[in-house]
Amino acid sequence: MCGIVGYIGKREIKHQLIEGLRELEYRGYDSAGIAVMQEGEIRAFKAVGKLANLEEKTKNFETRGLGAGIGHTRWATHGKPTELNAHPHMGEYSYVVHNGIIENYREIKERLEKEGVQFLSQTDTEVIVHLFEKEMETKGDPFDAFKSTIDQLDGAYAVLLLTRKAPDTIFFARKGSPMIIGRNGEGEIFFASSDAPLIGEATEVAYMEDGTVGYVSPEGLHAEPVELQFVPLSGDKMTAQKGGYRFFMEKEIYEQYQVIGDTMIGRVLDEDILFEELDEAFLNGIERIKLCACGTSYHAALTSSYLFERQAKMPVNVEIASEFRYKEPLLTTDTLFVVISQSGETADTLEALKMAKEAGLKTLAICNVDNSSIVRLADATILTRAGIEKGVASTKAFATQVMVLWMLSLFFAKKRQTIPQETMLDELRYMSYVPKVLQKSLEVHEKCRRLSKRYLHGHGFFFIGRDIFFPLALEGALKLKEISYLHAEGYPAGEMKHGPIALADAELFTIALMPKTLLYDKTKSNVEELSARDSTILAISPEMFELADDFILTHPHKHPMLEFFEMMVVEQLLSMEIAIRLGNDVDMPRNLAKSVTVE
């Protein structure tokens, strides 16, 4: 949620900040702003809506020579998306940008108001800049005042502050919200909420630990309580661009067959599954698994619960992280606590992980972002290797999560000797077909584009499936609602008659996942029940179904997971085409953010 950037150097500062924010716009895009300091003076600009509005507003402003700047793209938490609530927030002579939530902002605000400070916004962030200037009155030294300010904040934050009292200096602090600092041989300094804006700019980066506070100027860098450790930054800008596709989401759907190969490489062997990340001692004593995640990552977890129980004969339970946190869960130390997160920054998942650690459980993160907060906290991590995912609607991250979890279920099956070697070899063989299947699934894109025009109205969508196709139905419904804003729900096909079928009529669209390898006849009966009540049926299946109003024919496969991956692509393409036809920005759908770092 929210993205922040900072820059110190001689290049045109506005351009540097806006280009950095462009890379982070997926984190929030209600409003954006920058503050730029040169020769001791600060100019600030803010605009509601997307970054293009800020660009327009600053088109006649440019800098020459050395200076410093900070920028922010917002996903509103406290206060509406207005210009006054946009960052940077200003005091008399200082400006601040912040990502996270200051939990005790009301107390601080009340205290400062009693002392005569006037607030302009409804945000929690504004207290930081006023508190800093109050502290300056007694401390005199900007860094002492900044430290004392940060000490008084509860909650999560990544903060950058500019003040006229310290020319060309950026003060920074981080706790619970991501922030990275980068530098290069030209003496330039960069800050950002994730790697993306730094790629191609910084040559090395430091991932700040929680509790870090410091400042940087052209004269040098100071950080407390531990020095920052810089590591080389690799990657090139091109991989982070759209590469000819209309949307990042589309590009990411098309990339799946390649990135899934990266997920498997070195792990899926001819006769075995290998996870170098997991050593024997770590797994000793593990008898059960608890999977915990949010949103799409939760759907990946739910999918794997069928696989773990079926293959590895392990009791598995799956938790939505925001529910898990407050249910006073009973945790036993023979449980492996697995968190799944694309971003590695989801607040609920991170907190659930902390709870599991405190209860003494062994913890494993399945994550796409190395060095993210979740990765750093978990005892072990399996990276999904999907590459940067920019579309807010998760696609390739989901595919790679499911793949890692399928691999992990076999890894445990082998360790626990619950499947014969012959079955293991079959599973590995089918697994190796997945990249090809993902590639071939793209052939239905044109069909999805054409069909999309028939699904722009109605009073709702039911995505239905059985077994692993039930979580896939949930995922299909989530994808569609996120980007099309149409009402969609996922259900186990067998559950319809217990209530939801009451909604069936010609304006209710049923998207039926009808794989041939798993419970085909059972699912078919459920679809027939809906068809008999006049629901419009779009069947996705390798077998023609006479009652379907529309049909997307998939390839015949011999393994349910291959059907799963193919139908996943169909759902993604169909949702995307419906949303595009409705004129929506599928990469930045309304009300959502890529990384949900608030509760």
37 vs 483 by CB, closer to ligand M6R: 483
**Of 147, 290, 414, 594, which residue is the catalytic one?**
594
Token duo for residue 461:
């969508």
296 vs 526 by CB, closer to ligand M6R: 296
Residue 316 binding ligand M6R, by CB under 6 A: no
Letters for 534-573 (x = contact with ligand M6R by CB under 6 A, - = none) are ----------------------------------------
DSSP 88: P
Residue 596 binding ligand M6R, by CB under 6 A: yes
Residue 471 binding ligand M6R, by CB under 6 A: no
54 vs 403 by CB, closer to ligand M6R: 403
Q: Which of residues 473-492 bind ligand M6R (CB under 6 A)?
A: 482
Distance from CA of residue 105 to its chain's centroid? 27
CA-based nearest residue to 335, from 348, 324, 346: 324
CB of 334 to ligand M6R, least distance (A): 26
Rounded to a whole number of angstroms, the CA Rg of the chain reads 25
Of 69, 295, 435, 465, the one binding ligand M6R by CB under 6 A: 295
Whether 135 contacts 145, CB under 8 Å: yes
Of 263, 343, 384, 441, the one binding ligand M6R by CB under 6 A: 343
Q: Residue 424: left if φ>0, alpha if ψ -120 to 50, beta else—which one?
A: alpha
Stretch that binds ligand M6R, among 9-17, 279-287, 335-343, 559-567 (CB under 6 A): 335-343
Residues touching ligand M6R: how many (CB under 6 A)? 15
**Of 2, 294, 367, 448, which residue is the catalytic one?**
2
Stretch that binds ligand M6R, among 112-120, 291-299, 411-419, 557-565 (CB under 6 A): 291-299
CB of 194 to ligand M6R, least distance (A): 12
Stretch that binds ligand M6R, among 23-31, 33-41, 53-61, 292-300 (CB under 6 A): 292-300
Of 305, 346, 363, 381, the one binding ligand M6R by CB under 6 A: 346
Stretch that binds ligand M6R, among 222-230, 377-385, 388-396, 408-416 (CB under 6 A): 388-396
Residue 392 binding ligand M6R, by CB under 6 A: yes
Q: What's the CA gap between 532 and 519, in Å, rounded?
A: 20
Whether 134 contacts 119, CB under 8 Å: no
**Consecutive H or E run containing 354:** helix 347-358
What proportions of the chain, in percent to the nearest 5, are helix, strand and coil? 40, 25, 35
Residues 6+ apart with CB under 8 A from 245: 251, 254
Stretch that binds ligand M6R, among 15-23, 61-69, 207-215, 343-351 (CB under 6 A): 343-351
Residue 294 binding ligand M6R, by CB under 6 A: yes
Residue 297 binding ligand M6R, by CB under 6 A: yes
Residue located via tokens 């405190």: 358
Of 194, 212, 341, 384, the one binding ligand M6R by CB under 6 A: 341
Residue 332 vs residues 116, 291, 336, 356, 362: alpha-carbon distances, Å = 53, 14, 9, 10, 10
28 vs 91 by CB, closer to ligand M6R: 28
Q: What's the CA gap between 231 and 596, in Å, rounded?
A: 26
482 vs 577 by CB, closer to ligand M6R: 482
Residue 63 binding ligand M6R, by CB under 6 A: no
Token duo for residue 189:
């300094």
273 vs 392 by CB, closer to ligand M6R: 392
Of 394, 452, 523, 572, the one binding ligand M6R by CB under 6 A: 394
Q: What's the CA gap between 167 and 391, in Å, rounded?
A: 38
- DSSP output for 487-528: -EEEEEGGGGGGTGGGG-STTEEEEEE--SSSSHHHHHHHHH
23 vs 126 by CB, closer to ligand M6R: 23
428 vs 438 by CB, closer to ligand M6R: 438
**Consecutive H or E run containing 143:** helix 142-151
Of 342, 363, 441, 535, the one binding ligand M6R by CB under 6 A: 342
394 vs 531 by CB, closer to ligand M6R: 394
Whether 25 contacts 389, CB under 8 Å: no
CB of 339 to ligand M6R, least distance (A): 8
Residue 322 binding ligand M6R, by CB under 6 A: no
Residue 296 binding ligand M6R, by CB under 6 A: yes
User: Which residue's Cβ lies closest to ligand M6R?
Assistant: 295
Taking every pair of Cα atoms in the chain, the longest distance, rounded to a whole number of angstroms, is: 80
Q: Parallel, antiparallel, or unpaired for β 508-513 and 460-465?
A: parallel
Residue 393 binding ligand M6R, by CB under 6 A: yes
Residue 413 vs residues 101, 287, 311, 379, 501: alpha-carbon distances, Å = 42, 12, 6, 22, 38
CB of 483 to ligand M6R, least distance (A): 9
- Could you give phi then psi for residue 537, rounded to 5 degrees? -110, 125
Residue 193 binding ligand M6R, by CB under 6 A: no
Residues 6+ apart with CB under 8 A from 233: 182, 195, 198, 199, 202, 203, 204, 205
Q: What's the CA gap between 589 and 599, in Å, rounded?
A: 20
Look up 594 and say whether it is catalytic. yes
6 vs 344 by CB, closer to ligand M6R: 344
Look up 2 and say whether it is catalytic. yes
Residues of this chain that interact with ligand M6R (CB under 6 A) are: 294-297, 341-343, 346, 349, 392-394, 482, 592, 596
Active-site residue set: 2, 594
